[in-house]
Chain A
């Protein structure tokens, strides 16, 4: 600080000395010419800036402020819309979940019903098949018995011819065979005899 004081004092004394030399310190004596130049140049600068610079800067700043305000408004609007959409989607999702649960329940129920029906139907079909098989077996058995009976008749006739050396006429043959067969029990062959 002391040094600065010395410097200032030195500067002022130098200025004063110089002033004495030139009839007034040029450092602190204003000049009219320079003042006029200042007025002209400052005035011109102000005129140009107020016409070409400040309005454009202000306009750009206003435009940006407007853009920012609009952006904020748009962002708020979009946020609101997003919130609405979100709540709507959530509602839809909940609804869809309910529907899905309902569909699942119904599907499960339908599957259970179908399973039950299929079980009943299968059982019925199996029984039908068993019945049909029984019927077929009985028919086949009956046809086999008839065939055996025919075979036995024919053999009997042949045997009788050999024993008696006599040919029987067809009526006698038939009668004899039927008599013989009537005495034979075929029930064992058909299976009924054992059951009975």
Chain B
């Protein structure tokens, strides 16, 4: 292994370089240790140069998620003002509609890469998310909703990692024009959005359950099977626990998505320099900055898709559970 790693560096070294054989002779372990040493050395050097400025009270990282009113729309007590989150909702909706209809209009018998990716996602929504949880009729009725949940959340999450000029708190001047600073933000990092989707799911699955079984039978189906001979008080207790668990779904489904995306963005913010600014230790930035890349790849490559998948899958499971013959 070490020789295999050493070989390319030997080849990469310029011909006749006196350091080439020395470099080629280093083991992987030594290279890793040198790398860590250099990494820490730079941080210590920066700490010695810039020192500690003390805690920065002026910097408020949470303000990155603050919604400033851009266009005020007030209908009585309801604030429908256009802000950053509404813009992201528009972008997510527009992008979802544009991408899906664009692909749908250009469906070829021999698909290209983009079409293949969309087909894989569509097939996954149909056969992995909806198929196993819902019967044929329910799947037909609820597939558009669940598929939209998946694609819409996915696009919302993904555009959350594109830096867009949305930070109106800080601006920069281009030919006299005050342009908002580029920032990353995700609509799903705001609790309102996952919560309203969760409410739709929550109400829908109860309505479907009542429609399929009738109110009493549906409520009775909340009790796990095998409790027929249990005394009524114990049954009521278990029913109360089940009822609480149904209400807990409101929190778990919405907060899971919201907290994951918010935490991801906070991590990127802190690792990308926020922590160094906040604590006034510039050297910390050198340490955390490489981690920002790692978290960015993790968020874009896994979390964004995973959270959309989990939300859609749980939606299908809740709907299927409410309408299936046995709970």
Contact = CB atoms under 8 A, between A and B. Distances in A.
A8 B263 contact: yes
Interface string A37-56: 11101101110111011101
Given A8-B263, A49-B151, A14 B60 contact: yes
Contacts of B267: 4, 7
Contacts of A148: none
B193 A53 contact: no
A2 interface: no
B79 A50 contact: no
Contacts of B195: 30, 35
Interface string A1-41: 00010011011001100100000001111111111111101
A49 B93 CA distance: 10
Nearest to B199: A35
A67 interface: yes
Contacts of A50: 144, 148
B256 to A, nearest CB: 14
B109 A64 contact: yes
B67 interface: yes
B65 interface: yes
A11 B123 contact: no
Contacts of A59: 107
Interface string B258-293: 000011001100100001001000000000000000
Contacts of A10: 270, 278
B90 interface: yes
Nearest to B66: A26
Contacts, number: 138
Nearest to B83: A34
B104 A15 contact: no
A186 B101 CA distance: 133
Contacts of A36: 78, 80
Nearest to A46: B148
Nearest to A52: B101
Given A10-B278, A38-B89, A53 B104 contact: yes
A7 to B, nearest CB: 5
Contact of A37 (B80, B96, B103, B145): B80
A167 to B, nearest CB: 133
B167 interface: no
Contacts of A15: 62
A137 interface: no
Interface of B: 60-63, 65-67, 73, 77-81, 83, 85-86, 89-90, 92-93, 96-97, 100-101, 103-105, 107, 109, 118-119, 122-123, 143-145, 147-148, 151-152, 187, 190-193, 195-197, 200, 262-263, 266-267, 270, 275, 278
